[in-house]
């Protein structure tokens, strides 16, 4: 209570950073053998592993920054919607 929305978003991002990183990096490390597979059918496994690891890393980065920016800008968007009388549309 009493802190600015920007500072609350920064503190919230800091509090979520460790669990997000641990979960995402555990999945990435678990998928590394799939990415470096060899033998029969390895091409499909490598493709699946590369796509999964890339998607997980991009999702992790988006989750950390996008959620913080959304929390920061949400009160501004709702206040603007209330003042124009059109529900923000």
Q: What is the pTM of this model?
A: 0.64
**pLDDT at position 39:** 86
Question: Which ranges in 1-89 belong to alpha helices (H)?
Answer: 5-35, 42-84
**CB distance 17 to 64 below 8 Å:** yes
Q: What is the mean pLDDT of the chain?
A: 80
49 Cβ contact partners less than 8 Å away, ≥ 6 residues apart: 31, 32, 33, 34, 35, 36, 37
Give pLDDT tens digits for 12-54.
777 888 888 899 889 999 999 988 888 888 888 899 999 999 9
Largest CA distance in the chain: 64
**Which residue would you say has higher pLDDT here, 8 or 83?**
8
């Amino acid at each position: 209570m009493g802190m600015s929305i920007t500072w609350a978003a920064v503190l919230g991002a800091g509090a979520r950073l460790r669990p997000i990183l641990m979960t995402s990096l555990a999945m990435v490390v678990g998928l590394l053998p799939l990415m470096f597979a060899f033998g029969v059918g390895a091409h499909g496994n490598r493709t699946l592993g590369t796509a999964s690891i890339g998607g997980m890393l991009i999702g992790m980065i988006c989750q950390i920054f996008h959620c913080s920016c959304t929390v920061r800008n949400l009160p501004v968007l709702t206040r603007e919607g209330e003042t124009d009388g059109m529900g923000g549309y």
